């Protein structure tokens, strides 16, 4: 019963919100699953891109924003390139991530937004990326130091080859960049 009632609200405010933010028309989807069939990471998602679109159509905001899908999407754009209805699904996923972060929703994939936040905080301070800082912050905060031990020796090798500079470089216009961050909200 609950399901039926929800399904009736096809023109949901959530659909409008996601449409507007992503500048896509999600209601155009006719559910052919071409997106999901070609998605390289759908196997690891809770639902897959097609069902995410369906749930947006129905206005199932919480399920969508709490799904692992929005963070697992690798932004590879295969789905949007092949979609017969010109829906750029990667833009939809971006919009969903942004909404989820703005609304402070918890997520099963907390490390993905953590990574993005740390990445941007470094760029905000330096104007550029500094991989050593990113690793130094990400590994302890993600509490994920030991699940992926295989890459540690490679990381060390990279440092030795000078591919991960230890000292950060701050650009001269870093205050300009910081202003861009502030104005971008």
C-beta of 27: minimal distance to other proteins in Å? 14
- Restricting to residues 76-95, which ones interact with other proteins according to CB under 8 A? 76-78, 80-86, 88, 90, 94-95
- Restricting to residues 121-140, which ones interact with other proteins according to CB under 8 A? 123, 127-129, 131, 138
C-beta of 63: minimal distance to other proteins in Å? 15
C-beta of 96: minimal distance to other proteins in Å? 10
156 contacts other proteins (rule: CB under 8 A) = no
Give dist(CA 118, CA 136) in Å, integer: 10
52 contacts other proteins (rule: CB under 8 A) = no
111-126 and 89-102 helices cross at what angle (nearest 10)?
Answer: 80
105 contacts other proteins (rule: CB under 8 A) = no
What tokens were used for 6? Answer: 């929800």
Select from 32, 105, 140, 175 the one that contacts other proteins (CB under 8 A): 32
C-beta of 79: minimal distance to other proteins in Å? 9
Sign of CA dihedral 132, 133, 138, 139: positive
Kindly indicate which of the ranges 4-12, 58-66, 116-124 contains the residues binding other proteins, using the contact rule CB under 8 A. 116-124
4 contacts other proteins (rule: CB under 8 A) = no
Query: 86 CB contacts (<8 Å, ≥6 apart)?
Result: 28
Residue whose CB is less far from other proteins, 62 or 75: 75
What tokens were used for 165? Answer: 């500079």
Q: Are the CB atoms for 53 and 22 separated by under 8 Å?
A: no
Side-chain half-sphere CA neighbours of 65 within 13 A: 20
Among 61, 51, 116, 125, smallest CA distance to 89 is for 51
User: Residues in contact with other proteins, total (CB under 8 A)?
Assistant: 79
């Amino acid at each position: 019963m609950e399901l039926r009632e929800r399904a009736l609200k096809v023109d949901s405010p959530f659909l409008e919100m996601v449409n507007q933010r992503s500048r896509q028309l999600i209601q155009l989807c006719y559910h052919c699953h071409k997106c999901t069939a070609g998605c390289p990471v759908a196997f690891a998602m809770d639902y897959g891109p097609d069902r995410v679109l369906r749930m947006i159509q129905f206005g199932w905001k919480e399920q969508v924003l709490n799904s692992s899908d929005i963070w697992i999407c690798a932004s590879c754009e295969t789905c949007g390139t092949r979609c017969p209805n010109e829906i750029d699904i990667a833009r939809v996923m971006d919009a969903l991530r942004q909404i989820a972060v703005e609304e402070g929703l918890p997520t099963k994939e907390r490390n993905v937004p953590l990574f993005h936040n740390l990445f941007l905080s470094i760029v905000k301070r330096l104007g550029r990326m500094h991989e050593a800082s990113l690793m130094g912050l990400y590994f302890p905060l993600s509490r994920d130091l030991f699940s992926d031990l295989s890459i540690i020796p490679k990381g060390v090798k990279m440092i030795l080859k000078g591919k991960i500079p230890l000292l950060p470089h701050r650009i001269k216009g870093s205050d300009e960049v910081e202003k861009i961050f502030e104005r971008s909200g």
